[in-house]
Structure 1
Amino acid sequence: MQIAYRARDITEAHIVAGLLEANGIEAHVGGHYLQGAMGEIGAAGFSNVHVDDEDLYRARQLVSEYEQTSGSSVSRAASDGEDRPDHYARWFLLALAIVALILLQVY
């Protein structure tokens, strides 16, 4: 399984997965449990659409068409070798770790 699309949230991931499935590509949405643990604010970057390896090229073509019609100026298609969370999620996790360290020092 490969990541075909990195969505802003779980809703967008399901929209793209539905688009892919409507075109005959089996798609799975990942990140359900991570999003619930992080809450709605820090959930960015955890909602991914996965497809089988042999469907990756066709899925990325459909994702490109989706992005062009949705008016998105920033491409969210995953590129090969790029498997990292969104920028905001990283900062949220860093802030959470700092708060935890401060609380450990106080108590």
Structure 2
Amino acid sequence: MQRIYEPLDLLEGEMLLGMLASEGVAAHLAGQHLLGAIGELPALGLLGLLVDDRDAEHARRLIDAYNAAAPLPGDEPEQHPGTLLC
């Protein structure tokens, strides 16, 4: 298994798990149970997405595409261009 990405928070980690699963890539989110002890542990680097060695490159490409995504024209508010409406 390879650690391919460090999500910013649990929400992003869970969303990426679902996205990878929908693409046929089995992944594990390591460190999610450590977040309760955040007062005594370093705040960054606790979460990590792990995938099988054979899926690592494909998963990295999927996550790169996720990070490069931009809103469709007309889907963002005029006062905040470049912001996705969810």
Question: In the comparison of the two structures, how many residue pairs are matched?
Answer: 69
Instruction: Please identify the structure whose Cα radius of gyration is greater.
Output: 1
Task: Specify which structure has the higher proportion of helix.
Answer: 1
8 A Cα contact 1:9 1:43, kept in partner: no
In structure 1, stretches of 5+ residues that fail to align are 72-107
| Identical-residue share of aligned pairs (%) | 36
After TM superposition, the runs of 4+ consecutive aligned structure 1 residues lying more than 4 A away are: none
TM-score by length of 1: 0.59
Structure 2 CA distance for partners of 1:32 and 1:70, relative to 1, 3 Å: farther
Instruction: Give the unaligned 5+ runs of structure 2.
Output: 72-86
On the 8 A contact 1:29/1:49 being kept in 2, the answer is yes
Q: Is 1:47 matched up with 2:82?
A: no
Q: What RMSD over aligned residues (CA atoms) do the two structures have, in Å? A: 1.7
Residue in 2 aligned with 1:37?
37
Matched-pair contact (CA < 8 Å) for 1:21–1:27: yes
Spell out the pairing of 1:36-75 with structure 2 (5 A cutoff).
Answer: 36-39=36-39, 43-69=43-69
Q: Secondary structure at the match of 2:69?
A: helix
8 Å CA contact 1:28, 1:50 repeated in 2: yes
Question: 1:26-47 deviations in whole A, cap 9, x for unaligned?
Answer: 01111122211115xx533211
Alignment check: 8 A CA contact 1:29 1:47 kept: yes
